[in-house]
Structure 1
Amino acid sequence: MGPVNARSSRVVILGGGPGGYEAALVAAHLGAEVTVVERDGLGGAAVLTDCVPSKALIATADYMSEFETAADLGVHLEDAEGDEVSDAVAELGEVNRRVLALAAAQSADITTRLTEVGVRLLRGSATLTSPTAVHVDGADGPLDLEADVVLLATGASPRVMDTAQPDGERILTWQQIYDLDTLPERLVVVGSGVTGAELAQAYLGLGSEVVLVSSRDRVLPGEDPDAATVIEDVFTKRGMEVLGRSRMAAVERTADGVVVRLEDGREVLGSHALLAVGSVPQTRGIGLEENGIELSPSGHVVVDRVSRTSVRGVYAAGDCTGVLPLASVAAMQGRIAMSHALGDAVAPLSLGVVSANIFTDPEIATVGVSQKDLDEGRADADVLMLPLARNARAKMLGITDGFVKLFAQKGSGAVVGGVVVAPRASELIFPVTLAVQHRLNVDQVASTFTVYPSLSGSIAEAARRLHVTG
């Protein structure tokens, strides 16, 4: 398909999450007439029920953990009578109200920004009636839109199993936990992927008893094994019960809580259960298959590296594509789609330079080549892992868990990947990402000044140790 005339083109975007709203900003900047159709609110699940609220909840738990660290640093809290205060208490109703207000404020900011650049916003459900037409059922009645370019950014929703039906009260998906007014006494988290691990630790930090049910040998099975080991050790050290190789068969209500039945016959009792067993794309029943748009067996929209679907003029971005379930990737897919469709300069999506973060405590940040790539022969690199406990700044901050790991290409010394396990690893991964993106070698990284003392000094030190002599 040749590029359309951006100045006279009509762009209709189904979904207002990161893939949709970032695409809308690009299309509006390029001069297109842009309409975004969103059912639940601008920002989508990422802002309203997933990334923003969950990370705000985690940040609250992290803040509470600072009270524990304070004692190790020689700082003790006392009440007015001079008695030591041993525990901070989380009022979950207050916490959740703040979390949801924060999400609503972010959604409002996105709405304001889109309105400022002239994007038309429609609240409702959209169906593709042809590759160039979209039907909207909204509060103001039905509406039919003509489009030169369509972007599908419909996202995904929590996976629900027949034997574990959420009720929003005791059996919860990660989208329902913000309705809780009181802290679960004993929370059973089913699923030890990113969402399960993050929220299990959040509730542990807020004061719940937590049992994590993992069907795999260890938590975070898809992540760097050294990082996952650190996190599992931290979980157990802080009192979480981790049940490995324990596959859930069913979750049911009891008189005063829940019972999680495992396939081996064991039963795990709790006051609440949180289901974190994956997600499903929201691609059914909106006219995609009827209009020839190819879906994968899992129901995801099949796209190429410039976000094109199998139908000319129809693009897709975000979790509905299954490319990589990250808000940053969704946003990049959406931007690429509009640049390609409207004739602007564009570079295809490159997943090799995507940085990602898991917001446990400590956080796990990764970019580029992974340990798994090395172990399975897809990459050949030298590896250096440096424990953070040896870092002077880490000692001052009371950090005892975590490390920096760099992967350097054999011969050239180019930094091709990295892992950081540390508080605020999401910030520390950026210099490693810059190195991977721009093919800096370990000597270039090592010869760049870092502040002393700083956690980033360990990144330079790891690069220094990867210097090849002779």
Structure 2
Amino acid sequence: MSKYNYDLFVIGAGSGGVRAARIAASYGAKVGVAEEYRVGGTCVIRGCVPKKLFVYASHYSEEFEEAAGFGWTVGERSFDWKTLVANKDKEIDRLNGIYIRNLEKAGVEIIQSRATVRDAHTVRLEAEDREVTAERILIAVGATPYMPDVPGIEHAISSNEAFHLEELPKRIVVVGGGYIAVEFAGIFNGLGVETKQLYRGPLFMRGFDDDLREMLAEEMMKKGVGLRMNSDIASIVKKDGELELTLTSGEILKTDAVMYATGRIPLTRGLGLEEAGVKLGKSGQVIVDEYSKTSVDSIYAVGDVTDRANLTPVAIREGHAFADTVYGGKDVKVDHSIIPTAVFSQPEMGTVGLTEAQARERGEIDLYKTAFRGLKNTLSGSQERTFMKLVVDAKTDKVLGVHILGQGAGELIQAVGIAVTMGATKAQFDATIAVHPTAAEELVTLREKWQAPLVKAAS
């Protein structure tokens, strides 16, 4: 018999932890999972799932308007925030139940408690005031929103609280330049909230292809979002029932709510990792090797807590790879070099592979670009444009990156990601028969290399 209570003990029942626990148990390991909040983690409970539901809700304001071009007459309409929140909560409860049942079906023991690490093989369960031992410990606690040290920050909310607002504000200022910021700016704007987005740099969505960043900014402003680059908040004061924001420029903005989306930090504080000998990075992230092993041989970590690629599918893949390697007798590493990604901004962004700037650092490239109004928009009256871009290695003809802005970009990039991951060439893209009439056909019909600045006029 084992000298430990468990073969594997997982701290955190988010996407990565749940997948690792289930797969390890399927290989015969005795697994325990500790979760202090709800099973499902950030994505299911307070992240990508409820956010996508809010994105869907926010699209209807435009769709009602655009229906007239197709002969529809839409009568009186109104939006009820509390109904959306209540229905969202029901769906989250349903998913939470599914996650719990799947763990139980796999034979995993779920413990509702905060857990901390005491040493290489010991975990303390705070709610039960006891300790358990495990041959291996997996850290999968994720990350939490970062709130900067700004005077009056207690009056601001993060994306966590945005899902549970009692009332929808009439005005809001979203602070940040990443995908959470642009997604929530689009959500609030679509739901009828007067929305401003502040970003301290010259252009938001740093790390994405520059053409996508520029066109997204143009399209968001056309939809009514007040974008303010090179702008940040110096202080927040609650005054006469509203919030008064003093910007670093000295300008005063008045609003009903402020939401910060200025990054996320790993949830390692107070977890006992450093005391147990686990090496952490400057931001508190757990340092791991290619097999997700920490500096302590019996302790592993997956997901956002490692700050490698903070995406739910990546956490799931890392958790699965860990279990396959340690308990399945396989040698599985996760390739973080090519990760298809969708941003549910309005319009959507989908991207995979290298940006133009990254590719140029590696050598000579060819570019193929197109911008157009989609077929639907010719009757709807919408001026929203779709943009597509291929980045190709000039010597090998290999497609290094694909970048899309427009309706359905997230769905498109999943399929295109397969081709890029397999190392498809531009010639192979060209040899693929187009599906007409679709926006996606542009990806296989682009023939002329881009030589001059793209003329951004609606077709």
- TM-score, structure 1 normalization: 0.90
Residue of structure 1 equivalent to 2:419: 435
| Partner SS for 1:196 | helix
Q: What's the CA shift string for 1:185-237, capped at 9, x where partnerless? A: 11011112211111011000000001111111123233222112222112211
User: Which residue, out of 160, 167, 186, partners 1:201?
Assistant: 186
Alpha-carbon distance, 1:358 to partner = 0.7
Q: Match of 2:138?
A: 151
Q: Counterpart of 1:19?
A: 16
Equivalent position of 1:181 in the other structure: 166
* Correspondence 1:134 to 2:123: yes
Candidates 121, 124, 135, aligned match of 2:110: 121
Preserved contact between residue 183 and residue 207 of structure 1 (Cα < 8 Å): no
Of 45, 50, 56 in structure 1, the residue corresponding to residue 47 of structure 2 is 50
CA deviation vs aligned residue, 1:90-145 (integer Å, no higher than 9, x gap)? 2111111112222222121111111111111111101111111111123xx22322
SS in structure 1 at match of 2:281: coil
Offset at residue 396 of structure 1 (A)? 6.6
Greater mean alpha carbon deviation, residues 199-208 or residues 317-326: 317-326
Any stretches of 5+ residues in structure 2 without a counterpart? 451-459
Q: Is the 8 A contact 1:149 1:341 kept in 2?
A: no
Distance 2:378 2:337 in 1: 33
Matched residue of 1:252: which SS? strand
Q: Does 1:160 align with 2:147?
A: yes
Change in Cα spacing, 1:173 to 1:166, as seen in structure 2 (3 Å) is farther
Contact 1:394 1:455 in 2 (8 A): no
- Rounded to whole Å, the distance in 1 between the matches of 2:362 and 2:79 is 46
- Name 1:292's counterpart in structure 2: 277
Secondary structure of 1:175's counterpart equals helix
State the SS of the aligned residue for 2:126: strand
Selected match of 1:359 from 324, 329, 344: 344
1:395 Cα offset (Å): 4.6
Structure 1 position 399, deviation (Å)? 7.1
1:217 aligned residue: 202
Q: Is the 8 A contact 2:352 2:401 kept in 1?
A: yes
For residues 47-87 of structure 1, what are the alpha-carbon distances to aligned partners after superposition, in whole Å with 9 as ceiling and x for unaligned?
11111111111111023321122234443323xxxxxx4xx
Q: How far apart in 1 are the matches of 2:383 and 2:399?
A: 26
Task: Report the alpha carbon displacement of residue 408 of structure 1 after superposing the two structures with TM.
Answer: 1.8
Give the equivalent residue in structure 2 for 1:82: none
Aligned partner of residue 213 in structure 2, secondary structure: helix
Percent identity among equivalent residues? Answer: 27
Q: Secondary structure at the match of 2:400?
A: strand
Asked if 1 retains the 8 angstrom alpha-carbon contact of 2:321 and 2:334, the reply is: yes
Alpha-carbon separation, structure 2, partners of 1:145 and 1:380: 57
Partner of residue 84 from structure 2, selected from 95, 103, 106: 95
Cα separation, partners in 2 of 1:440 and 1:297, compared to 1, 3 Å: same
Counterpart of 1:386 in structure 2 is: 370
Residue 220 of structure 2 contacts residue 346 of structure 2 at CA under 8 Å; is this kept in 1? no
Q: What secondary structure, in the 3-state scheme, does the structure 2 residue paired with 1:201 have? A: helix
Asked if residue 108 in structure 1 is aligned to residue 105 in structure 2, the reply is: no
Matched to 2:297, the amino acid is R
Deviation at 1:466, TM superposition (A): 6.5
Count of residue pairs brought into register by the alignment: 446
Q: Please tell me whether the aligned partners of residues 368 and 391 of structure 2 are also in contact (alpha carbons under 8 angstroms).
A: yes
Counterpart for residue 269 of structure 1: 254
In the alignment, the residues of structure 1 paired with residue 384 and residue 71 of structure 2 have an alpha-carbon distance, to the nearest angstrom, of 16
Q: How far apart are residue 346 of structure 1 and its match? A: 3.3
Q: Distance in 1 between matches of 2:291 and 2:368?
A: 35
SS, match of residue 416 in structure 1: strand
2:435 is the counterpart of 1:445: no
**SS of the residue 1:22 aligns to:** helix
What is the one-letter code of the residue matched to 2:61?
M
Flag the 1:371–1:187 CA change in 2: closer, same or farther, 3 A.
same
Deviation, structure 1 residue 182: 2.3
SS of alignment partner, residue 385 of structure 2: coil
Deviations for 1:151-196, whole angstroms, at most 9, x for unmatched residues?
10111111122325555xx621110012223221110111122111
The one-character-per-residue Cα deviations of 1:396-427 (angstroms, maximum 9, x if unpaired) are 77673121211222222122211111112111
Tell me the alpha carbon deviations over residues 9-36 of structure 1, each in whole angstroms, 9 at most, x when there is no partner. Answer: 7111110111111111221222211111
1:364-383 equivalence runs, <5 A: 364-375=349-360, 377-378=361-362, 380-383=364-367
Letter in 1 for 2:73: H
Aligned 8 A contact 1:388 1:394 in 2: no
- 1:189–1:200 Cα contact (<8 Å) kept: yes
For the residues of structure 2 that align with 1:51 and 1:404, how far apart are their CA atoms?
A: 24
**Secondary structure of 2:439 counterpart:** coil
| Contact map agreement 2:141 2:267 (CA 8 A) in 1 | yes
Task: Determine if contact 1:47/1:106 at 8 Å carries over to the other structure.
Answer: yes
What amino acid maps onto 2:398 in structure 1?
A
Instruction: State the distance in 2 between where 1:383 and 1:9 align.
Output: 54
Q: 1:16 to 1:232 in 2, by over 3 A?
A: same
Among 55, 65, 87, which residue is 1:68 paired with? 65
TM-superposition CA deviations, 1:449-469 (whole Å, max 9, x none)? 34221222122123x5569xx
Aligned-partner Cα distance in 2 for 1:295–1:206: 41
1:421: which partner in 2?
A: 405
How far, CA to CA, are the matches of 1:120 and 1:282 in structure 2? 23
SS for the counterpart of 1:451 is coil
| Aligned counterparts of 1:95 and 1:262: Cα–Cα separation in 2 | 33
Q: Which runs of 5+ in 1 are unaligned?
A: 79-84
**SS of structure 2 residue aligned to 1:412:** coil
Q: Does 239-248 or 450-459 show the bigger shift?
A: 450-459
With over 3 angstroms needed to count, the CA separation of the structure-2 counterparts of 1:300 and 1:450, relative to structure 1, is same
Structure 2 residue corresponding to 1:251, chosen from 220, 231, 236: 236
Q: Secondary structure at the match of 2:214?
A: helix
Name the CA distance, whole Å, in 2 between partners of 1:399 and 1:27. 51
User: Could you say if the C-alpha distance between residues 353 and 379 of structure 1 is closer, same or farther in structure 2, counting changes exceeding 3 Å?
Assistant: farther
* SS of alignment partner, residue 162 of structure 1: coil
